[in-house]
């Protein structure tokens, strides 16, 4: 049996985290869960600690002293998975935008592929964001595909799976980009290190509770980083 770790990063997800934990733990008995929380002011971490006391599942909480960002949280999750000898690492959002029922689709593909990304834009996928955000995301991903010439339809989704035993010459710690550009940088590094990228369709739901953590100017920072990558001004992707 494969050793599987489900990872999510949290910051002010008190309204969603219990439902997230229930959805994963009720569906899957054999998965472990790792949560990195950036000392959420709404005490997301406290809800996780209380849930752990009532659950028989293996849930690890790493509570950091301050807000350190998505990129370092995902690197921490990646390093934790390697250190603890997991076979597969599944990363997803804690705001219920990613459906845990789709996890087996990732696991099936990871049996013989190093990396799988959940795509809203390939055939069978769906994006249920509000119209303006959906439009920005759709055309943003189209532009990334055109500029980087990587033949997938999704670059920025955090619903991903890593087969840690099949990855070649890849270390997530080498991705130097911050914020949501980190997810773009990860795809670029996988491509540069000749790790085959497989995509599967997902249905992405917009959050119902809580506030989005995506800064209003994030799209412009991502575009800037995209061109820096293209023209090799960012060496470490």
Whether 237 is in a domain gets the answer no
CA angle centred on 43, ends 213 and 97, rounded to 5°: 40
What domain range includes position 119?
4-230
Q: Residue 235's pLDDT is what?
A: 47
CB 10 within 8 A of CB 36: yes
Half-sphere exposure of 187 (CA within 13 A, CB side): 30
Look up the CATH number of the domain holding residue 60. 3.90.550.10
Which residues are 8's β-sheet partners? 35
Whether 236 is in a domain gets the answer no
More confident residue, 137 or 77: 77
More confident residue, 213 or 155: 155
Query: How many domains in the chain?
Result: 1
Residues 154 and 231: their CA atoms lie apart, in Å, by 21
Indicate the average pLDDT of the chain: 92
Whether 235 is in a domain gets the answer no
pTM for this one? 0.92
More confident residue, 178 or 216: 178
For the packed helices 44-54 and 17-27, what is the interaxial angle rounded to 10 degrees?
30
Q: Which of 51-55, 69-73, 197-201, 212-216 has the lowest mean pLDDT?
A: 212-216
List, for residues 78-131, the tens digit of each pLDDT value: 999 999 999 999 999 999 999 999 999 999 999 999 999 999 999 999 999 888
Whether 162 is in a domain gets the answer yes
């Amino acid at each position: 049996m494969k050793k599987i770790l489900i990872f999510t990063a949290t910051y002010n997800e008190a309204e969603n985290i219990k439902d997230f934990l229930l959805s994963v733990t009720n569906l899957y008995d054999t998965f472990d869960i790792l949560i990195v929380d950036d000392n959420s002011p709404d005490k997301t971490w406290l809800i996780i600690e209380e849930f752990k006391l009532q659950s028989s599942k293996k849930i690890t909480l790493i509570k950091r002293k301050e807000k350190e960002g998505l990129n370092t949280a995902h690197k921490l999750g990646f390093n934790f998975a390697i250190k603890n000898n997991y076979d597969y690492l599944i990363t997803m959002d804690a705001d219920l935008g990613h459906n845990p029922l789709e996890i087996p689709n990732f696991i099936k593909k990871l049996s013989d592929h190093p990396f799988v990304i959940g795509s809203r834009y390939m055939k069978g996928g769906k994006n249920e964001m509000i119209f303006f955000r959906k439009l920005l995301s759709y055309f943003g991903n189209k532009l990334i595909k055109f500029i980087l010439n990587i033949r997938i339809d999704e670059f920025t989704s955090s619903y991903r799976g890593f087969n840690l035993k099949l990855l070649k010459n890849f270390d997530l710690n080498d991705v130097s980009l911050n914020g949501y550009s980190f997810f773009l940088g990860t795809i670029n590094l996988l491509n540069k290190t000749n790790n085959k990228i497989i995509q599967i369709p997902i249905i992405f739901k917009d959050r119902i509770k809580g506030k989005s953590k995506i800064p209003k100017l994030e799209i412009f920072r991502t575009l800037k980083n995209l061109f820096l990558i293209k023209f090799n001004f960012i060496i470490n992707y």
